[in-house]
Amino acid sequence: MTRKEAIRIATNFFTFRMGVKPESMVVTMMEPADGRIAVQTTTYDDEGDEMTYEIEIKPATDSITMKQIVSDCNLSDFIQDVKHLSNLKKGDLFRLEGDCVIWRFCGAEKRYGALAYGFTRQNGREISWLNTDVNVYPCGK
């Protein structure tokens, strides 16, 4: 199957399932010799939120599936084990649970009589503070 055929089939399937034609489709994976093919499209819901869908075509088994992509991150951001905020060093990058932002650890200090952990957006300047030693997901630099 060619890329053009895969995009045509995925467009037909998406239109059938969603009732609207997608603006664009992109082949993200294509295995050789009639293997699996993945095609993605991004659209917007009624509230204007971006929604990404992946359509997987499997010619060998005559099947096609569509899945909503909830999140897409770098694998390297999740290779390290989960740590407590207190175990980070100044400058370490991390993600908070359920948050898509990458944060930079600024250190810990006593604030208003309690230990607080400071962090900022990866390229930001404004420091946010947490008084609890939460679990974080360290990221590669």
Q: Is the pTM of this model over 0.85?
A: no
Of 21, 35, 27, 22, whose CA–CA distance to 7 is shortest?
A: 27
Backbone φ, ψ for residue 107 (5° rounding): 125, 180
Domains of the chain in start order, with CATH, are 3-69 (2.20.25), 75-139 (2.30.30.30)
Encode pLDDT of 14-59 as tens digits: 999 999 899 889 999 999 887 899 999 998 888 888 899 999 999 9
For residue 140, the model assigns a pLDDT of: 75
- Chain centroid, CA 123 distance in Å: 19
Of 63, 13, 80, 62, whose CA–CA distance to 41 is shortest?
A: 13
User: Three-state DSSP class for 82?
Assistant: coil
Encode pLDDT of 80-127 as tens digits: 889 999 999 999 999 998 888 889 999 999 998 899 999 999 888 899
CB atoms within 10 A of CB 92: 19
Q: Would you say residue 73 has pLDDT above 90?
A: no
Average of per-residue pLDDT across 63-77: 87
